[in-house]
Every structure is written in C-alpha cells, then in structure tokens.
A and B are shown apart, each in its own frame.
Chain A
Amino acid sequence: MSPQQALDTGTAVRAPEDLTMAAALNAAIRDAMVDDPTVVLFGEDVGPLGGVFRVTDGLYAEFGETRVSDSPLAEAGIVGTAIGMAMYGLRPVVEMQFDAFSYPAFQQIVSHVAKMRNRTRGKIPLPIVIRIPYAGDIGGVEHHSDSSEAYWTATPGLTVVSPSNPADAYSMLREAIASDDPVIFMEPKSRYWSKASLSLPVQTEKLNRAVVLRAGTDVTLIAYGPTVKTALATADQAEAEGLSIEVIDLRSLSPFDDETVGVSVRKTGRAAIVHEAAQFGGYGAEVATRLTERNFFYLAAPILRITGFDIPYPSPKLEEYFLPTPDRILAALSTWEWS
C-alpha cells in the first residue's frame, strides 16, 4: 500500500473502519464539501439515489438540493454548466455515469475544460473534477466497460488520474477537488467493492506521483486502476517461480511520473505495462516510448504491453478472454530472452 498518514485538514482522525473504494470516494466528497462551501456536486442520479454505484450516497440528504443535485440527462450540459460554475468561483464535482457516456461531453472537455486556462493566459482557471467510472470486469453490457483514458491523456491541459485502492481513492479525490486544474478522475468500476481498513481522513502519495507497491529486482510491471490487482497477483505467482517483479501503480496517467518509473526501470532493466484498453495507440504506447527514449541503455529487452485486444470491448460472456491475466502477463515476460 502507499504510505498513509493523516490528512492535514483540521478534521479529527476517525477510528479505523472497513471501507470499500466506493465508500472512500463518498467520504472524500463529503469531507471536501464540509471543508469547502464552494464544492458542489451534480450529475445523473447522484441525488436521492446516490449514483448508480452509490458513490454519492447520503450526500443529497446531508447537503441539500443547492449543493447536490440531479441534473438533466445530458453530459455536455453537465460539463458545460460546470465550466460556467467554475468561472464564478465554485468547485464542481460532476459524474459521468459510465465511461462510454462521457463521449457526449467530449467537446466541452477537450475544447474548453482543457483549454480555458491556456486560452485566457491563466485568468480563468477551471477547478473541476469529472469523475468517470471506467473499465470492465463487471459483466457490463455494451458501453459500460470502456477504458477511455487515452482520449484524455492525449489532451494537454487535463490531469488524468486513477486510484487502485480505497486509501488512494480518498486521498486522490480530496487532492483532485482541491486542485486548481481540471482533473479527469477515472474510477475503476471493478475495484469499487474492494475493501481496506482506513482511519479517515487519510493522505497517501501526492496526486502526481506513482508508487512502488511491491519491490522487486527482475522486472518493472507498470499498472494503474483496474490492472493493479492483476499486476500484484502476477508478482505473487512469479515469486513462486523465482522471478522478482517490482509493481508500480502509476496513479497519475497525466502527468506521468518519469522519475519513479525511471528509477525502477534502470534498476530492473526490464519493463512491461498492463492495461485493459486496446493496445494500438493506447496509453501503454506512450509509456513504452518514453521509457525507451530515456532509458534505452539500461534496458535488457524491449518494453512489452499486455493489454486488451484491438477490438471493441466484448460482451459479458467473452470479457474473460479480453482482460489481461497473470498467466498472460507471465507468458509475455517469458518471451524475453533471459540470460
């Protein structure tokens, strides 16, 4: 786990409790709303229902209609009005119900959320958090399992992050809400129900840093969001086979933490990246290229990508064939020449 310490907010540290990632995210929004009256929350079904994943459970009851509201069902409208609110001094936290349903908001995100600060030479910052439940492995029907991160990481002006565990979920969301830059906050759906014992408020590593989750000497295995669990399982399995894998949880996709990852890769000399999204033009392509450009002479083998296939995300009965698994990762690593 990432190093944990109490978050310095003046809020009393609470007794440890078992929290799911969804509950940790909920607590983060709640605590941010208590600390900062300019934080407002809206989106589809985030009010009385508490969101389709219950991430906003209870917030409507606690903060009322003026700060937590169900908006009309239109994603460009949600992000577009959030922009206007941010221009007037609010800090909107908005929810896109599912990854694939963020696409109607694409223009508002790419042409305004990402560019407003630059367009106005810093005079109009947009402190907006756009929460996007993403990725698969939940038996979702079509349009409910996309990994859309590369659309956002390809866009200058956006900060794109993805937690993999409840502690990071809390800490990273608090930091995202406090940030003066717009943050695309990608929540791995398959991890919503993962649990940890936490004493909130908790502060883990800074938002823009990657962390080494498990030390190793032979391979650097890079993951984020939903595939961190897969990477850790792979390292367990490899250990039994005598292979020492260092697992890095990127946490922040943009910016990319060259330093943390670079140190690891220069140590192990071998790196692989795992993600659910399709391979071609995917986020892993950028990671592999950067690492190669900067660390070529330390590398003993080409950097590998273990990813979803270059196909649309499959239907529930077929997703197990699509998702990267420890076996598939280990098989890929075994294609390297090991001297």
Chain B
Amino acid sequence: MASSEYTEVVVEGRKVRLRAPAAEAIPAYGAATRVVGTAAQRVDALEKVTGRAVYPSDLRLPGMVHARFVRSARAHARITSMDLSHAEKVPGFLAAIGPSELSEKSLKDMLGRELPILTEEPKYYGEEILAVCAETDDAARAAAREVRITYETLPFSVDPEERVRAGQFVGGGWTPTGPGRPAVYERGNVQKAMAAANRIIERTYRTAPNVHSSIEPHAAVASYEEGRWTVWESTQGVFAVREELAAMLGAPLLSVRVIGTHMGGGFGSKVSAGKYTFIAAYLAKKLGRPVRCVQDRSEEFVSPYGRPPSVVTIKAAVRPDGKLLAIEQKGIHAAGPYGFGAEWGHAEDMAAEMYACDNVRTETYAALTHTPPPCAMRAPGHAQAAFSLEQMMDEIAREIGMDPVEFRLKNLPARDPVSGKPIAVPRGSHGLAECLKKGGELFQWKKRRKETRDAPPPRFRRGVGVAATAWSAGGGPPASVVIRIHADGVAELFAGAADIGTGTRTALAQIASEETGVPVDRIRVTNADTALTSYCLPSYGSLTLASTGPAVRRAAVACRRQLLSIASDILEAPEKNIVLAGGRATRPASRKTPESSVPIAKLVELSASREIVGLGEREGNPDMSIRSHGAQFVAVEVDTETGTIEVTDLVAVNDSGRVINPTMFKSQQYGGVTMGLGMGLTEERVYDLETGRPLNPNLTDYKVPTILDQPAAFQAVPLEVPYDGNNLGAKGLGEPPIIPTAAAVANAVYDAIGIRLAALPLTPKRVIDALHPPESKP
C-alpha cells in the first residue's frame, strides 16, 4: 500500500506537507494464518495470576520516601495562610513544597492550555496546594492532614449551563477559540434545510460526569542518580510522560527514563505526566532519595481526570422517506476552571461525522466550571454524543414509521462527511451495515421488536433497542519495533507501546511469531521503556494495535527473510518452499524427498551476525477515513414500580478488521460495553451545589458495574470485514464498544415504557419520575 498520508506542519512560518516515509509493500496475509487469529494465552498471564507482575504502585526501592498532596477544601478560594508547623513535627516529615516554589511549573494539554501543579488560588475542590514528603506513607498522610490552611472563599459554580449563561466558557473543539466564543462547525445550510423540512425533532440530553476508576490509582515512583531520573509510572504512554516531564524539569530528554511495563488500567486518564509524576521526580532530585507518589482512591475523584458532563441539544430534520436533511447541535460541557482538557468533552464530532447529511451545524461551549479539569475517557466526546445522536435516530425512525436499523442503513455515508475522504469500504460492503445486519440477526431484532410492541403493560415492561457507532481507528505512524532472535531460538521484541490491559504484548508476539516461526512462548516482549524501546505514541485513541502491529510485522518479515535465506541453503530448497513454524524451518515432503527441518536456533547460530535482527517502522495510511464500526442490540425489563432497569440481553457486534486474538478482542468488547452500562445506568460523580464538593468520592457510592450487573445473556461478536489499509488489516477496538451502549439501553427503555429518558445515568428515580411526573403525584 502506497503511503499517501500527509501531515501538515509549520516550519518557520511556512506550511509544509510531510509524507510518511515510503516503505516497501508487505503482502497481506494469505488465506490461512497459523498464530494470528488464534486465542493464544497472554504472554504475561502467569505473572499476573501469580502476583509476580510488579506495577509502579508496588515498587519499593531502598531508601524510598513518600509524597502526598494537600488539597483544597474549597471549590474556589484564595489562601490567606498556610501553617506547616504541626506538619513539620510529624515524625518522619522530610519536606514540603508550596505553590511559590513551583510557580513556573504547569501541565499542558493538547492545545497548550496550562494547569498549575500547585496553586494559591484553588479553583476546584481538591485542587493541589502543597506536596509533603515523609519517610513513610502513613507519615506523609499525617503531615498532609496537619497542614493548617485558611481560605477566603470565592464564588464558584459547578453547573456548566450556569457558567455558559454567565459568559464563562471557551470553545470546546480541537482548535482554540479564546474566551467567550463557542467552537463552530458548519456545512451546507442548516437554516434553509430546516425551514424547508416538515418534520423536525428537537430534544435536550444530559450525560453525567464519570470517573475512569482504574483499579490501580495514578502512581509514579522516581529516582534521581547522577543527573538522571528513572520514573516508574502507571501510564499509557512512556514517551509522552518523558517529553512532558523533561520539559517541566528543564532537562534533556535523555536524562529522563520512563518505565511502564505493567500498569493497572488507564482508560484515557494515564496518557500524560501527572502532577504526581512531577512531584515524585522533583522531590527525588531535591532529597536525593527515590520518591513514591501514589493517589488514594478518594483523590482519584477530585484530581484532573474524568469524563465531563454534557448538555446536548440536538435538532434534526428528516424527509418522510427517511433521508436525514439537517442536524443542528449545541453542546455544553464542563471544562474545569482552566479550560485545560476542554477538547475531551467535545460531543459534536459524532453528530457531524456519523451519518450522511448535507446540512450540519454544531456549536460547542466548554464551560469554565469549578470542577476538576476533564481528560480523555474511553471514547471521549463520542460516548456522550452517542447518547443524544443515537436516541435522536431512534426517535426519528419511530416518527416516520421506519425500523431504526433500516433508517440508519439508509443514511450511511460513503465518504466521511467532514473530511470528504472515502470511508474504507471493502468490496462494496460497509462495516456499519454489516454490524447492524449481523447484530440484528443474532438478536432476532425484527421478531423481538414486534413481540415487545404487542405486549400488554404489566408491572414489568420489556423493550428492545439498538444503537451504532463509528470511531476513527486506523492507527498510524510513528511506531518502530526491533526484533532480535538469539542463538537459542528465543526472540526479543522491543516496542514502545504500553499494554494497558488490552493484550498488546500478546498480540505483538503473535504477529512476530506468525512470520518468524518462533513460538509465542519463546518471544520475550520488552515494552514501554524509553531507554530500551523506540518511540511510539501512547496507547490511546484505539490506535495501539493498528499502529504498532504493522511495524512488528515489518520487523518480523525482515527477520523472516534472513532466516529463510539461511534455511534455503541448509535445506537445499527454494525459500518459497520453506515453512517457518513451531521454532523450526521445515521443507515439507515432496514426491522425491522426505520432509526435512532445522531448528530456528540453528539458523541463528549459523548466521553471519549470530543474531537475527529486524527493524520495522509503521508505514503511512491510505488517504481515507478509516473507521471501526459497531452496533449493539439490547433488551431491557423495566420494573414500573421500583424504576429499576435490568438489561437482560445484549449483543455487541464490532468490525475492526482482522482479529489478531479472538479472546482478547471479545474481552475488549465485554469490558467496553460494561463500562457503557456503568455510564448508562449507575455512574455519576455527584457534586454538592452548596459547597462544590463531590459527594461520592469512593467506589461504594460511585457505582462501577460489578459482576452482579451483567446481562444474563451477553454476546460479543467480532466481525472481520476485510480491510487493507495496513499490512495487518487490523483497526482499533478499545473505544468503540463503550460508545453506543447507553443510547441502546435508553432506546430499549423507550420501547418498554414509551418515555424518552434524556439524562444519564438512567436511575430508578429518573424512571419513576418519568412514569409519574412529580407534579402529577398525589
């Protein structure tokens, strides 16, 4: 595949189009693969089930000390005094750092907006004011508690709509707009289209603030020796952390080594260096001792992480035959007080991209609320947007008497409506169409839809719903990979990518094994270590496999060629007749000669270099809109007396091109959908409007799904719609499964009770209030 992807950059004021490096084409996989596509056991499964896997929060270095934050007890205040005298008396106390010492230091978001590390004027409850350090973690906590702070309380608001009314907002899109101006996207002429249409539907939807709630909290351990830092960080991207940390420390890149081999979940919240990272590194140098800075669970609810809440008003016009004519959307989301991370609440992309529609206008307001700055959380923006868009699709379909599946099929775009690029559509089939059809069949959509429609209204009402998703998931450069095969036949694979629980390490080993013939269990994967692996992007945006995987294949093919060349001499057969598999090079039996084979170890031993080395770089993508697609069908049972919604059946179908490992693929589907069920039914960070404090900063009251919350019937179905935009044929899957879930459930609830629930989470109270509106209650 020719590399035709360009990146536009500005060099000394000049716009330059950079081409991805040209690379020799690697043929697509043949009809049958031996290792790719199998349910290989995870390469780190044994470490994980035995407790041997060491996570950053587990690390104990000799002489290590502990840092903790002192956080604001006000949602907005000026600090009038800080008294450290009691804290300093805590046995084991070592140091405290205040805002004045770090006044120049800040984190930066993708658009360069800044977030101070420590502050004298906290703008949200829990904002970091001081860091203290002590010999033990208990002592550090005690010292943090003993710091006495007095505040002058300032006015605050945690309500995004109120902030927008007060003019306190920035644009929430991918290009900064400056204060007081929304981000606007427009194509066609929405006003004209709406004026001409006779069917217009408008509704306002609300999604709740969610918190990532990775089971391993944010954690860093840093040591400083001879002018160099080593940082063990629970992160999705060691190179991003290295760059950011080096910049904050004012140190050369190579003076910072970041290691993130095992990490206990991220979901978007561990893409960048955190305040805790900087504090650990800064104190490590200052004290000359390793420093551990790990957050408590309650801190996870007040630090700069989470999916911001949104209020989306969507209006759509449709022709009676089901053609979407116009979409207008106004979105407001909370962006915290600094606008830092505002782009992660942008719920407008999906409305603009998902369906073919000539007239679209969106406006996004990122409200400057006194709440923690948002960050990317699994399918940022899209998960919020789907709740409104996919309910709107359902509502319109019902309005014009069309099956919601057919209505969607009718409005599928052949080109990306925003970029105008063709959508990678293989052999005339559209990934989303395939997902909708397959899911509909498995779920028996048509039949069940009819059943529920005809059912009488007893206490328990049943309903079915569907929702769909598309997510740009082509991956891409940069990613480079090195494979070394040693003289004992063991291969080492070096890749910068983090394995955030998705199985990256295993998938990469499978890809390497396929080409080299080295069995998966003889491949040692070294990943996510800036000193040992070459550069790659963080594991976010569902790009890891589709970015690094093709680079691995390229490196493996380079090794394969060397192995085949030696094998061909030894086995006296042309290279094309030799099979590399199971740790051996084999020439199959022919009519004249019996089978003969030689161990790969032997080939390496005989090679001139005594080690086979392959380097692979990720090629560019075709100039297309590359999307992963998915559809979800759910059945619910609503108890009209208690308001509980039970999801009884769920079918999730996802097309992300080639499946490298079906078990891991399905695990992504199960995990993503489950997080979607949490978003849909139970998860909400609740703020006290009087104080701006989160009321449920713990895992008892912030309800992530447990094993009891699973649908009785839950099917995850991979659909391999062929894709040839990279040498693997694989696209990303991390994010798509969470996107449509809440909307699918809400659509099913509508089907059950005839009421559209417009605010998340869909709690029993909301159901009861909808069935018996408060004013009509006796």
Partners in one complex: no
Using a CB–CB distance below 8 Å, which chain A residues touch chain B?
none
Using a CB–CB distance below 8 Å, which chain B residues touch chain A?
none
